[in-house]
Amino acid sequence: MTSEKPLVEVTHLNKVYESKGRRVEAIGDLNFAVGTGDFVCIVGPSGAGKTTLLKCLAGLLAPTSGSVTVGGSRVSGPPESMAVVFQEYGRSLFPWKTVRGNIELPLRARGVPASEREARVTDALEAVGLADAGDAYPWQLSGGMQQRVAIARAVAYQPDVLLMDEPFAAVDAQTRADLEDLVRRLWRERGLTVIFVTHDIEEAVYLAQRVLVLSSSPTYVLDDVAVGIPEPRSQVDTRVTPQFGELRTRVYAGIQRAKTNAAKASA
Amino acid sequence: MSAVLGFLHRAFVVLALPVVLFVLWYVTSSSSTSFYFPPLRTILSKFHEYWLGDGFTRDIVPSVLRLLLGYALSCVVGVALGVVLGLSRRVRTAAEPVLEFLRAIPPPVLVPVLLLIAGFGSAMKVTVIVTGSVWPILLNTVEGVKGIDPVLDDTCATYGITGWRRLTQFVVPAAMPQIVAGMRTGLSIGIILMVISEMFAATSGLGAAIILFQRSFAIPDMWSGVLVLGLIGFGLAMLFRVFESAVLGWYEGLKGLERQ
């Protein structure tokens, strides 16, 4: 890293949900930093507070204590320089708008002039391989294609940070592999910084330069795994290398440990 | 070719029953000597004579204008208020008892009251129409807005789609299927109240004309007025369908796919 300050910094993040007589500490004490141009995957056992963390990062949820900073400024609402791709593609696209309209709306909201909007939308659609689908409605497309539209919308937005919340959990395996490669390509070609939340260990190792393994709730960072797998990666070759196997084992062991600890804690 | 045949087939299916009923009425009533059930032939000649003549400008036009004005006001007030109530739980809690009370009052009851306040003019009639047809629109809008998808809402927030843009591009379109359902009910209620408001005290309008014919025992004329009401209701329902498929084309497409 050449830049002096990390792009995203999470410091002593803590989140407690309180309702009538019940106090649930979802996030205990989270600390990590993501540098410009990084591709970081966050994995954890189910119930690791991944959704809570994501909402705090996206500025959709205020932390109980601690802070998230993006580009040096503290997150108190959704940061302008961040785009989010949600898991539920069917519920994150506007069904009354065409594909083009969906991609264009955030650009309108940010006051991008019409001619540039046009160019950005066309470019983003080409980048995700949907150049001809601009006039279709999202619901006329397959699930994988809908998620491509959501990715195109994020790309057209030209964010500094792309936040992805288990984006491929609801698509079939082959589509998933294609989408993984699409995200890697966009990351490389466009110099994005990607934070990718997933529960799939192999996906995390395949995609990321770095995998953060979370503990069970109350969450802290259990392991920070540098993935040194060389570029370019491929679905066929990368996944059978011994290095891939070792990394997967290490992350898997971490998650198993998290589960055992959680079981002990609740016993 | 098959498109043309398909159209003809549909037209046949749609028109068959009305034509049969019309012919049946025409034939069975043709030799009627009953004072209260005159032959359809007589009714149609009155229809032609009055409603396509003086009656059109004297009664139909003012009635329909009042209905459209009252209905438009209901839509604007219902949707605007419904969005505010749907978005804020606090406002909803505060307003609910008052709304439930107002909703429980049958609008025709208001006619004598409004006569005192607003007089005999169009203002009273439009007000009566609004007091009835605003409710289904308002309540459906509230439900529609309450039911907006949290994931889409988060999407709006992360992309800076806020304020007025969020309302027009997200909240209202998302609630639109329910808003339109409310508007459909509101329209039927509006037609009923248009007639009722004119039956009490009015010198023009469909309701006034029908009552006048009835009181002067001009039974065929009275029946012809009922026919006009039916036709207006039918015409408005057709127009409403055009409107519906224009604003909810996406919704019908989406539902159509889900059913497959």
Tell me whether residue B204 is in a domain.
yes
d(CA A197, CA A199): 7
Q: How confident is the model at residue A81 (pLDDT cuts 50, 70, 90)?
A: very high
The answer to whether position B26 is within a domain reads no
How many A×B Cβ pairs under 8 Å?
69
Measured in angstroms, the CA of A241 and the nearest CA of chain B are apart by 38
Decide if B160 and A96 are in contact by the 8 Å CB cutoff: no
Check pLDDT > 50 for residue B117: yes
Q: Collect all residues of chain A within an 8 Å Cβ-Cβ radius of residue B154.
A: 55, 58, 60, 84, 86, 92
Residue B22 counted as domain residue = no
The answer to whether residue B32 is domain-embedded is: no
DSSP string, B171-218: IHHHHHHHHHHHHHHHHHHHHHHHHHHHHHS-SSSHHHHHHHHHHTT-
Q: Which residues of A fall within a CB distance of 8 Å from B161?
A: 105-106, 109
For the cut 50, the answer to whether the pLDDT of residue A74 exceeds it is: yes
Nearest chain A alpha carbon to B166: A109
Tens-digit pLDDT profile for residues B146-195: 999 999 999 999 999 999 999 999 999 999 999 999 999 999 999 999 99
Q: Let me know if residue B106 belongs to a domain.
A: yes
- Residues of A within 8 A of B253 (CB-CB) are 137, 139-140
pLDDT for A263 beyond 80: no
Q: Which of residues 236-255 of B touch A (CB under 8 A)?
A: 250-251, 253-254
Nearest residue on chain B to A111, alpha-carbon basis: B160
Q: Give the three-class secondary structure for A11.
A: strand
Domain boundaries, chain A: 1-79+161-267, 82-158
DSSP letter for A21, please: T
CA distance A59 to chain B (A): 8
Cα B246 from chain centre: 17
pLDDT of residue B192: 93
Task: Read off the pLDDT of residues B204-250 as tens digits, 9 standing for 90 and up.
Answer: 889 999 999 999 999 999 999 999 999 999 999 999 999 999 999 99
Q: A33-56: per-residue pLDDT in tens?
A: 999 999 999 998 887 888 899 999
pTM for this predicted structure: 0.88
How do residues B45-81 score in pLDDT, each as one tens digit? Answer: 999 888 988 888 899 999 999 999 999 999 999 999 9
Partners of A110 on chain B (C-beta within 8 Å) are: 159-160
Query: Does B208 reside within a domain?
Result: yes
Task: With a cut of 70, say whether residue A1 has pLDDT above it.
Answer: no
Chain A residues within an 8 Å CB radius of B149: 91
Is the CB of A58 less than 8 angstroms away from the CB of B154? Answer: yes
Q: Which residue, among B148, B155, B255, would best test binding to A if mutated, counting the most A CBs under 10 Å from its CB?
A: B155
Over the stretch A166-205, which tens digit does the pLDDT of each residue have? 999 888 999 999 999 999 999 999 999 999 999 899 999 9
CATH of domain A1-79+161-267: 3.40.50.300
pLDDT at A16 over 70: yes
Task: Name the residue among B151, B158, B169 with its Cβ closest to that of A88.
Answer: B151
**Edge-to-edge order in the sheet of strand A210-214:** A82-85, A161-165, A193-198, A39-43, A210-214, A221-226
**Across the interface, do A94 and B160 touch by the CB < 8 Å criterion?**
no
The amino acid that residue A9 corresponds to is E
For residue B50, which phi and psi values (nearest 5 degrees)? -90, -55
Comparing CB atoms, the residue among B151, B170, B176 nearest residue A91 is B151
Determine phi and psi for A246, rounding to 5 degrees.
-65, -45
Other CB atoms within 10 A of residue B56 CB: 12
Taking each helix axis from N to C end, the angle separating A173-190 and A143-156, rounded to the nearest 10 degrees, works out to 10
Looking at residue A137, its amino acid is Y
Burial (Cβ within 10 Å: 0-12, 13-18, ≥19) of residue B207: buried
User: Helix count (H) and strand count (E) of chain B?
Assistant: 13, 0
Is the pLDDT at B109 greater than 70? The verdict is yes
Rounded to a whole number of angstroms, the distance from the CA of B251 to the nearest CA of chain A is 7
The number of distinct structural domains making up chain B is 1
Contacts (Cβ under 8 Å, ≥6 apart) of B245: B252
Across the interface, whether the CB atoms of B154 and A157 are under 8 A apart is answered no
Q: What percent of chain B has pLDDT over 70?
A: 99
- Residue B202, in any domain of the structure: yes
CATH code of residue B118: 1.10.3720.10
